[in-house]
Amino acid sequence: MLADRFETKLLHSVKKQKLPIKSKVTPIYQTSAFTFEDLDDLERFYRGEGNYLYTRSGNPNTDELGEAVAAIEGAPAGVATSSGISAILAGVLAACKSGDHIVAADDLYGGSFHLLKNELNQLGIETTFVPFSDLQQVEQAIQSNTKLLYTESITNPLLRVENLEAVVDLAKRYSLVTIVDNTFATPYHCNPYILGADLVIHSATKYIGGHSDITAGVVVGKEGLVAKARKKVVNLGANVSPFEAWLTCRGLKTLALRMKSQTQNARKLAEALMTNENVEKVYYPFDHSEEGFGAIVTIELSKKVDVNKFFRALSWVKIIPTLAGVETTVSHPMSTSHRALPPKAREALGITKEVVRISVGIEHSEDIIQVFERAIENSV
């Protein structure tokens, strides 16, 4: 039984696979296939008496990652995938088939929006996007063929914190599956499965891995749905490589340390920028924790600020299209993460050229604040 406190549970959720050699850490099984003694041995695998056949269908490293994230989310099962998007795809296809309907939050990550609106539509799965801040609109969007409610625990990039208990209650009233993308909050801040969600998605590329050197995803949740998601991962070739899974497990062990530091820095940066006359608006969920709630700060610069000049003035802060490494970075949602959204949808959400998403790192907080204040000052 795992310890109750998150930091201890986190370190010991990465359970070394039970193997004859007693290494402290699971070695990297960088192999495409596993061998058998004879045909009887092979047949035992297909009867469920063996562990591994072919890395696309299972590997000790990929299993370790899925099981570890499931453990810290409080879920009974998990499966690792090649990316966050493939995790979303596997999760959705575990719950929906052609002819089914999804109701999704309208303020999702742009890649999720595109997958649900365009790619899944080609498979015969239709999605209606509505503001989940108004659950009456969500309920009104539910149809006779609706199977799924899909949202994010903290939305990307405007950081709306979802009322997960209310979403889950609504889904249960209509016997719908609930899927929550928990990438921004991480299990450090929120456990959607414990709050009643059926499946929880992570782009492990972000905070689970934490060091900007892997691409991976994880789906955790109810055993039956995860089993279906696992079949989709195998049959669609959406598995993560053993080496990337191993690196992600290594990164996962420091999640609590990283999130504590990054969250505290994010809150301090958000508070400092709120008093800057050239920042029109600061998006940060202050009211959810005294220590802070997540490591992302999104700002809307004043129209006095030359946005491109601001990005050029950021000194050691890198401009990238993603987030969550230990270094502070910035992105421009309109140009990257939400580029796929129709212009009217972006405008309705308030994602303009002045909106900047800041992924706060573990540097000293005063240095982080100073670099942004100077960049703003030098761009007016």
Query: Per-residue pLDDT for 16 more than 60?
Result: no
pLDDT (0 to 100) of residue 289: 79
Active site residue 24: no
Per-residue pLDDT tens for 72-97? Answer: 999 999 999 999 999 999 999 999 99
Do strands 177-181 and 318-319 pair parallel, antiparallel, or not at all (unpaired)? unpaired
Greatest CA separation found in the chain?
A: 74
Active site residue 206: yes
Using only the alpha carbons of the chain, give its radius of gyration: 21
How far is Cα of residue 257 from the mean position of the Cα atoms in its chain?
18
* Residue 83: C-alpha distances to residues 115, 118, 240 (Å): 13, 18, 7
DSSP of 336-374: TTTTTS-HHHHHHHT--TTEEEEE--SS-HHHHHHHHHH
Per-residue pLDDT tens for 263-314? Answer: 999 999 999 999 999 999 999 999 887 788 999 999 999 999 999 999 999 9
pLDDT (0 to 100) of residue 20: 67
Average pLDDT over residues 339-347: 83
**Residue from 117, 147, 160, 206 carrying the catalytic annotation:** 206
Give the full edge-to-edge strand order of the sheet including 296-301: 279-283, 296-301, 355-359, 329-331, 318-319
DSSP state of 154: B
Tokens of 155: 């939305």
pLDDT band with cut points at 50, 70 and 90 for residue 18: low
**Residue from 29, 100, 107, 109 carrying the catalytic annotation:** 109
Q: Which residues, 6+ apart, have CB-to-CB distance to 39 below 8 Å?
A: none
Closest by Cα among 280, 319, 284 to 301: 280
What's the pTM value of the predicted model, to 2 decimals? 0.94
List the domains of the chain with CATH numbers.
Answer: 6-252 (3.40.640.10), 255-377 (3.90.1150.10)
**Residue from 15, 16, 44, 56 carrying the catalytic annotation:** 56
Per-residue pLDDT tens for 82-136? Answer: 999 999 999 999 999 999 999 999 999 999 999 999 999 999 999 999 999 999 9
